[in-house]
């Protein structure tokens, strides 16, 4: 049966997940022969959890990359406070000027006509800044996406999806909240409405049209328990239209989770010869 209890981790399971994530971060850094990790701090729960776990096992440098036109000053302050509490070096870089320069290159269509296109520039600029810092310092870039976002495609291709590792990529948002409390992420950050900060007032749940609590139940039931729609509907009360919309979004965003396709030229040549 799909219940929040099935999603929730026991204390022992939390410790196991915590250890597994930390060990994986160490392995990635060691295999890449780098000096540590870059984590982009947004002031939100996902980046705060990744930074907290990574700081325990590798040297972490934090980047706070606000766009003054949309970033909440409280989020910037929370990110700085977290970095200070973790004892990591960090810097705040205003990306507003970079965004304006990019936007000016295509003045014919504005943010009203192409809202998503304009919004996606922000995480892509942040990706460039993350890798610039990583290359300069000899570090890997740790991503902050969770399992719910990855399945739903709720991330920007070659933006926040452009990373070397996703430490919490197999944790549903429900479990991210639980893990964050387990490792001591400030309650102020945990209680914030999840937001990608793409525009003022934007929230994840409003944009996706569903609360994480229900969304996680559906995804967990389908992908972890292998239940049918009828079984998921019975356990969660989700209606057919919502279930279909979730599954379609998962399917439509498959390309974001895969490497770009490569044409198999050798197969084509073999076919020509035959």
Backbone angles phi, psi at 130, to 5 degrees: -60, -45
Instruction: Locate 95 and state its tokens.
Output: 């990306």
Which pLDDT value is given to residue 162?
97
29 pLDDT higher than 90 = yes
52-71 per-position pLDDT tens digit: 999 999 999 999 999 998 89
Which pLDDT value is given to residue 195?
74
231 pLDDT higher than 90 = yes
189-208 per-position pLDDT tens digit: 999 987 776 667 667 788 78
Q: Beta strands of the chain (E only): which ranges?
A: 37-40, 60-64, 89-92, 140-142
Mean pLDDT of 109-134: 88
Q: Could you tell me the pLDDT band of residue 7, with boundaries at 50, 70 and 90?
A: confident
Which pLDDT value is given to residue 259?
92
How far is residue 59's CA from residue 120's CA, in Å, rounded to a whole number?
A: 29
* Residue 52 neighbours by CB under 8 Å, 6+ apart: 82, 86, 180, 183, 184, 185
Backbone angles phi, psi at 162, to 5 degrees: -90, 90
* Residue 201 neighbours by CB under 8 Å, 6+ apart: none
Q: Work out the widest C-alpha separation in the chain, in whole angstroms.
A: 66
Contact 53, 183 (CB under 8 A): yes
Task: Flag the least confident range among 63-77, 108-122, 160-174.
Answer: 108-122
How far is residue 123's CA from residue 139's CA, in Å, rounded to a whole number?
A: 19
Mean pLDDT of the chain: 92
Of 78, 18, 91, 92, whose CA–CA distance to 47 is shortest? 78
Mean pLDDT of 143-149: 97
80-104 per-position pLDDT tens digit: 999 999 999 999 999 999 999 999 9
Which pLDDT value is given to residue 116?
85
């Amino acid at each position: 049966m799909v219940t929040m209890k099935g999603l929730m981790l026991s204390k022992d399971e939390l410790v196991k997940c915590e250890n597994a994530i930390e060990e994986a971060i160490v392995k990635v850094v060691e295999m890449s022969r780098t000096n540590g990790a870059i984590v982009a701090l947004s002031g939100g729960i996902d980046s705060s959890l990744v930074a907290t776990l990574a700081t325990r096992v590798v040297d972490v440098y934090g980047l706070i990359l606000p766009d003054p036109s949309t970033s909440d000053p409280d989020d910037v302050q929370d990110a700085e406070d977290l970095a200070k509490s973790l004892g990591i070096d960090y810097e705040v870089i205003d990306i507003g000027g970079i965004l304006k320069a990019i936007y000016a290159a295509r003045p014919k269509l504005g943010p009203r006509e192409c809202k998503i296109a304009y919004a996606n520039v922000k995480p892509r600029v942040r990706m460039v800044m993350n890798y610039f810092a990583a290359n300069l310092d000899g570090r890997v870039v740790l991503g902050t996406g969770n399992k719910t976002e990855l399945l739903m495609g709720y991330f920007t291709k070659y933006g926040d999806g452009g990373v070397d590792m996703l430490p919490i990529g197999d944790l549903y948002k429900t479990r991210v909240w639980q893990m964050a409390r387990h490792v001591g992420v400030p309650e102020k950050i945990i209680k914030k409405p999840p937001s990608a900060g793409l525009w003022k007032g934007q929230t994840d749940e409003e944009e996706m049209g569903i609360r994480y609590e229900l969304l996680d139940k559906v995804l967990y039931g389908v992908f972890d328990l292998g239940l049918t729609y009828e079984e998921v509907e019975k356990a969660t009360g989700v209606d057919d239209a919502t279930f279909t919309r979730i599954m379609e979004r998962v399917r439509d965003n498959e390309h974001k989770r895969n490497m770009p396709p490569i044409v198999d030229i050798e197969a084509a040549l073999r076919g020509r010869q035959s």
